[in-house]
Amino acid sequence: MNELITPIIILILLLLSAAMLTWVERRVLGLWQERYGPNRVGPFGLLQVVADMIKLFTKEDWIPPFADKVIFVLAPMIVMIMMLLGFAIIPFSPELQIADFDNAVLFFLAISSLSVYSVMLAGFSSNSKYALFGALRATAQMISYEVFMGLSLMGVVMLADSFSLSEIVEAQREQWFFIPQFLALLIFLIAGIAETHRAPFDLPEAEHEIVAGFHTEYSSMKFGMFFIGEYLGVLLISMMIVTLFFGGWLGPILPPLVWFLLKTMLLVLFFILLRAAIPRPRYDQLMSLGWKYMLPLALVNLLLTGALLLFNQ
């Protein structure tokens, strides 16, 4: 019974926190840009999320007549399903992990590579030029950054000698992996931003050139699903970084779950700070950054880690 209820509670909490993140992001962005942000609805604007939800749910759910209907409806579902599936492998605390299996790191990579389809199919099925451009950009960006996202994780896997996330956390008892794997952390962070197409790498939805990119034709809750999916992606990437590089739930005095959530919060705030601080690069700059700097760097990191491991044996 417990096995059934825990995942459902986690799912609901995740969806709620992803929705709350939209408010957090706007408030914090406001703070950094010396303005108020949404502060009208409820205390501190806390009910802004509810207002947004009501707005999204009651808007007309319009499917364009020129769209490929089945795929059009399917695309936003894929992103939600993939992102929520991803949380199944996260060890929130020693006791709280939905699925602990051997190939969890590979599972994460599979999830992130399958979530490309949502963006791609959204762009294709919309049958509109801006959506198509957005989808083309998103696809090229995501499959390029996936390559060294996987490569950067291999250093961690080599140090922990396991693909299982709980064992990776256990392996960090003496030293968190962000010290020996600093390069990998940097690469994974950048790839993570590109994978979730967040600012500054939000070229697939760059509003000043291609309207809203792949979700131009989406309205109402279908757009809402892309929107929440993006925040779920930010949460997932933050949690993965915490698990892989910052010792997961490890930490003194406080209970493990609190440590995990604290670290995740800090990383999420860092993601938001990046959005506030860094301008968007040009598209070709983004691609050449990926292939010309990140990929060789990931390979060098892999080589160095392997060499050091062999040397220390």
Partner 1 sequence: MINLLFYLAATVALMAAILTVTRHNAVHALLYLIVTMLAISLIFFLFGAPFAAALQIIVYAGAIMVLFVFVTMMLHQGELSTRQEAQLYRPSQSLGAIVLSLILLLEVVYLLSVPERWLSSQQMTPISAKQIGITLYSSYILLVEIAALLLLTALIGAFHIARRHQEGAS
For residues 165 and 243, is the Cβ–Cβ distance under 8 A? yes
Q: How far is the CB of 98 from partner 1 (least distance, A)?
A: 17
Q: How far is the CB of 289 from partner 1 (least distance, A)?
A: 18
Helices (H), the chain: 2-32, 48-58, 69-86, 104-114, 116-126, 129-160, 165-170, 182-195, 207-210, 220-245, 256-277, 283-288, 295-312
86 contact partners, CB below 8 Å, separation of at least 6: 108, 111, 112, 236
Helices 182-195 and 295-312 cross at an angle (nearest 10°) of 150
For residues 149 and 299, is the Cβ–Cβ distance under 8 A? no
Task: Return the amino acid letter for 284.
Answer: D
The reply to whether 285 sits near partner 1 by the rule CB under 8 A is no
The reply to whether 113 sits near partner 1 by the rule CB under 8 A is yes
The reply to whether 134 sits near partner 1 by the rule CB under 8 A is no
Contact pick of 11, 41, 73, 109 for partner 1 (by CB under 8 A): 109
Q: Considering beta carbons, is residue 124 or 177 the nearer one to partner 1?
A: 124
The reply to whether 287 sits near partner 1 by the rule CB under 8 A is no
Contact pick of 132, 183, 265, 269 for partner 1 (by CB under 8 A): 132
Give how far the C-alpha of residue 128 lies from the chain's centroid of Cα atoms, to the nearest Å.
27
Give the per-residue contact string, 29-68, with partner 1 (x = CB under 8 A; - = no).
---------------------------------------x
197 contact partners, CB below 8 Å, separation of at least 6: 119, 138, 141, 142, 203, 204, 205, 230
The reply to whether 168 sits near partner 1 by the rule CB under 8 A is no
How many Å apart are CA 72 and CA 85, to the nearest integer?
21
Site size toward partner 1 (CB under 8 A) is: 27
Give the per-residue contact string, 79-108, with partner 1 (x = CB under 8 A; - = no).
----------------------xxx--xx-
The reply to whether 73 sits near partner 1 by the rule CB under 8 A is no
> Which two structure tokens, joined as six digits, stand for 105?
């790191």
The reply to whether 124 sits near partner 1 by the rule CB under 8 A is yes
Q: How far is the CB of 22 from partner 1 (least distance, A)?
A: 28
Q: Considering beta carbons, is residue 90 or 268 the nearer one to partner 1?
A: 90
For residues 225 and 79, is the Cβ–Cβ distance under 8 A? yes
Q: How far is the CB of 295 from partner 1 (least distance, A)?
A: 12
The reply to whether 127 sits near partner 1 by the rule CB under 8 A is yes
How many Å apart are CA 77 and CA 15, to the nearest integer?
14
Q: Which residues bind partner 1 (CB under 8 A)?
A: 68, 71, 101-103, 106-107, 109-110, 113-114, 116-117, 120-121, 123-124, 127, 132, 135-136, 139-140, 143, 146, 150, 163
